[in-house]
Structure 1
Amino acid sequence: MTGDAHRSELGDFLQARRSELSPEDVGLPGTGHRRRVRGLRREEVAALASISTDFYTRLEQGRRRASVEVLSALAQVLRLSADERDYVFELSGREQRPDRPAPQQPQPQLLRLLDDLTTTPAVVLGRRTDILAWNPMAAALFTDFGRLPVPHRNFVRLVFCDPTVRGRYPQWDYAARNGVAQLRREAAQDPDDPELVALVEELSARDKDFRLWWTEHQVAVRGAGTNQVRHPVVGDLTLDWAALVSTADPVQQLFTWTAQSGSPSHDALRELASRVSEAGRP
């Protein structure tokens, strides 16, 4: 297909998509009168996309080529699906810029697992080690995550900035450095993530150790390991942590902390679970 044919196909496609939308669909007030032409008018699409009506008209007529920014705006205005958006960019010969990730929501399957883990501390971590969900055992072991503002529910941030969580690690340097290395690994995957950039800037400003370790460029993946945890009620524990990946969303991982069966740490977890169960009784 030639360039002219592609532009003609793009114009036909845009016209077809705007004909399927009403003013109410895109937040415009209705006129109360039946329209002679079905769907949105060209001038309405142009105004919503912040371009001139003349430019949009020429685009539909196959006489103009749109920039990435204009195509992205039109895709949003016309409520295009992911496949339709890809199609528009292919017809235009433009390379898409990746969209910012949607807000993270924990997978329902992982939430059900959390509910079933009544004697095992567990959390669901997303991008940047954001804490998306947790069970009562995790709250009892570390802190009441629900009391924290949502932007502060980040595990690495808590290890550095929250006195309660920081105090849970008698070998704090080891746990903190591993957290920094995990963040550094994520930064390589999405260096333009504004929330990760903001987190790194905040921690660099607040903690000299973070600032130093970040410059060392050590990397680590979330896999498995062992931590010493000091709890004010059940004492010192040696816990193995593991990250289980959700195949539905590989960015999300279920983190669990367990202990060898029959060990003092295993008994301590059982005692903590008993206290959590008693506290939850009516």
Structure 2
Amino acid sequence: MNTAQSLGDFLRSRRTRLDPASFGFSGRRRTPGLRREEVAQRANISSTWYTWLEQGRGGAPSAAVLERICAALMLTNTEREHLFMLGLGRPPEVRYQSSDGVDPRLQRVLDSLDASPSIIKTATWDVIAWNRAAAVVLTDYGTLPPGQRNILRFLFGDPAVRAKQHDWESVARFVVGTFRADVARAGLASEVGDLVDDLCRASPDFDRMWRENQVFGHSEGEHVKRLLHPQFGAIEMEYSLFAVDGRPDLSMLVYTPLDARIAKRIRNAVAAMDKSPVDA
């Protein structure tokens, strides 16, 4: 497949679907959609060069130019990613979207994992959704104000969370390193400045680890979380990170108990939470 021609064909298909009148363009037209020069005008690029792009001979555009074309053609997130893959052979940078929750469909996925503590976290490590197993085993996020549901805040600021970690020092250093990599990848270094400053002031441990400048990927490590839980005792859980469809700034973290007996006890604890006073 000729990628340059595929890029041109895709641009042309997106251009011809647009209504000129909605952009303030008038006049009789022989073909549907915007004219090439109108797209170029909206994208603030050369009309000649945009024409070459549609003809498959414009050369490789820069990411900045592709972003302007995306805006000019009013592309969806999926179309934007496709355009970048055709033009540069890679997806665009993640667009961070502030969010207070997830749609019911995704929450139902979480709730179906009755023995596996699971959360949805943002690129800044704010927890925006969780299941009842997470509330039982990890933290009852529903008891915290929304602004405090940040993994780093309670890992470094909550003594109870710290006491549950089998090796808090290793866990904390890994979290700091992956957090640093995540916010840089999402282009959010400036947005988390206040959070980092707060943590540095409140926790000498965080200040020390942040200054180490280490970065880690989620794929590194043995993928096993060990807890000293006040209710269940010593717990070992494998963890897996999943992308959230259509939201590259979110990820789903699922912990799977390695001991079937622990899984059963978690499931029973979740069932007890679900019982109404009448049922009890």
TM-score by length of 2: 0.63
In structure 1, the residue matched to 2:254 is 254
Identical-pair percentage: 23
In structure 1, the residue matched to 2:236 is 240
> SS at the partner of 2:23?
coil
Q: Aligned match of 2:151 in 149, 155, 166?
A: 155
Which residue identity lines up with residue 87 of structure 1 in the other structure?
L
Q: 1:30, CA displacement in angstroms?
A: 7.7
In structure 2, the residue matched to 1:225 is 225
Q: 1:108 to 1:275 in 2, by over 3 A?
A: closer
Partners of 1:222 and 1:243 within 8 A in 2:
no
Which residue identity lines up with residue 175 of structure 1 in the other structure?
W
In structure 1, the residue matched to 2:70 is 75
1:60 aligns with 2:51: yes
Give CA-to-partner distance per residue, 1:19-78, whole Å, 9 cap, x none: 232247xx63586x86454211345423432x16xx224541579775442233113422
1:45 aligns with 2:36: no
Q: Distance in 1 between matches of 2:277 and 2:255?
A: 23
Partners of 2:7 and 2:83 within 8 A in 1:
no
**Please, which runs of 5 or more residues in structure 1 have no aligned partner?**
1-5, 91-95
In structure 2, the residue matched to 1:184 is 177
Number of positions where the alignment pairs a residue of Structure 1 with one of Structure 2: 253
Residues 126-137 of structure 1: matches in 2 within 5 Å? Answer: 126=121, 127=123, 129-137=125-133
Root-mean-square deviation (CA, aligned residues, Å) is: 4.7
TM-score by length of 1: 0.63
Partners of 1:123 and 1:132 within 8 A in 2:
no
Q: 1:271, CA displacement in angstroms?
A: 7.1
Partners of 1:121 and 1:258 within 8 A in 2:
no
1:167 aligns with 2:155: no
Q: 1:18, CA displacement in angstroms?
A: 1.9
Q: Distance in 1 between matches of 2:208 and 2:31?
A: 64
**Please, which runs of 5 or more residues in structure 2 have no aligned partner?**
none
Bigger shift: residues 199-208 or 10-19: 10-19
In structure 2, the residue matched to 1:87 is 86
Q: 1:212, CA displacement in angstroms?
A: 0.9
Q: 1:243, CA displacement in angstroms?
A: 0.6
In structure 2, the residue matched to 1:93 is none
Which residue identity lines up with residue 234 of structure 2 in the other structure?
T
Q: 1:188 to 1:14 in 2, by over 3 A?
A: closer
Q: Distance in 2 between matches of 1:45 and 1:222?
A: 50
Partners of 2:119 and 2:130 within 8 A in 1:
yes
